[in-house]
């Protein structure tokens, strides 16, 4: 039942991403709100539905973007896997883990998109891709990290309330 919360939340995220966030540009890069949401959700220690969120988010983003579905799904699953890996390790600072997951996830997603675009004969040089798309997108994703982390933390406390111990 708690997993069903993903449907309205992620549909709202896709609508915000395509209507509002995609208009906020820095050079040629824009933020990936779904990536930031999935990173924050997967870093919560008491949540077990992050893989379902990654699948649903990847499918929804694949519908509204022109990127092939396997790039989006692979990137989001990579973000969730990295978040789970960091969550199990000694990372006691969740905000630092959030920044790390977003940094690596943004690089991973954009590298996958770059490789696929090279095969689809949309040539762009690596220097242009890094300077005009990847680094501005990374900066925007990191700017959205703290507010999104706070909202996801509150949503997680609402969906998964802490049990009173007597």
Question: What is the per-residue pLDDT across 71-102, written as a single tens digit (0 to 9) for each?
Answer: 899 999 999 999 888 877 756 677 888 898 99
Q: In the predicted model, is pLDDT for residue 124 greater than 90?
A: no
Q: In the predicted model, is pLDDT for residue 162 greater than 70?
A: no
Q: How far apart are CA 50 and CA 143, in angstroms?
A: 22
Backbone phi, psi, residue 25, to 5°: -115, 145
Residue of higher predicted confidence among 41 and 126: 41
Q: In the predicted model, is pLDDT for residue 104 greater than 90?
A: yes
Residue of higher predicted confidence among 162 and 105: 105
Q: Is the separation of the CB atoms in 159 and 41 below 8 Å?
A: no
Mean pLDDT of the chain: 84
Find all residues with CB under 8 Å of 67, minimum gap 6, and list them.
61, 113, 116
Closest among 44, 32, 57 to 83, alpha carbons compared:
44
Q: How far apart are CA 98 and CA 135, in angstroms?
A: 17
User: Which stretches of 120-134 are DSSP H helices?
Assistant: 126-128
Element (H, E) at 89: none
Q: How far apart are CA 60 and CA 8, in angstroms?
A: 12
Percent of the chain with pLDDT over 90: 15
Q: What is the mean pLDDT of residues 50-64?
A: 89
**For the chain, how far is it from start to end, CA to CA, in angstroms?**
26
Q: In the predicted model, is pLDDT for residue 166 greater than 60?
A: no
Q: What is the mean pLDDT of residues 119-135?
A: 81
Percent of the chain with pLDDT over 70: 92
Residue of higher predicted confidence among 30 and 2: 30
Provide the pLDDT for residue 163. Answer: 52
């Amino acid at each position: 039942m708690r997993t069903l919360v993903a449907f309205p939340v992620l549909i709202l995220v896709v609508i915000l991403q395509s209507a509002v966030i995609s208009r906020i540009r820095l050079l040629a890069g824009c933020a990936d709100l779904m990536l930031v949401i999935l990173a924050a959700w997967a870093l919560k220690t008491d949540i077990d539905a992050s893989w379902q969120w990654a699948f649903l988010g990847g499918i929804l983003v694949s519908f509204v973007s022109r990127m092939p579905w396997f790039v989006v799904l692979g990137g989001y699953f990579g973000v969730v896997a990295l978040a789970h890996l960091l969550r199990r390790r000694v990372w006691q600072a969740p905000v630092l883990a959030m920044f790390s997951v977003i940094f690596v996830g943004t690089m991973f997603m954009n590298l996958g998109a770059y490789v696929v675009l090279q095969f689809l004969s949309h040539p762009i040089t690596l220097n242009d891709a890094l300077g005009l798309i990847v680094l501005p997108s990374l900066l925007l994703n990191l700017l959205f990290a703290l507010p999104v982390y706070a909202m996801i933390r509150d949503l997680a406390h609402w969906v998964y309330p802490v049990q009173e111990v007597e």
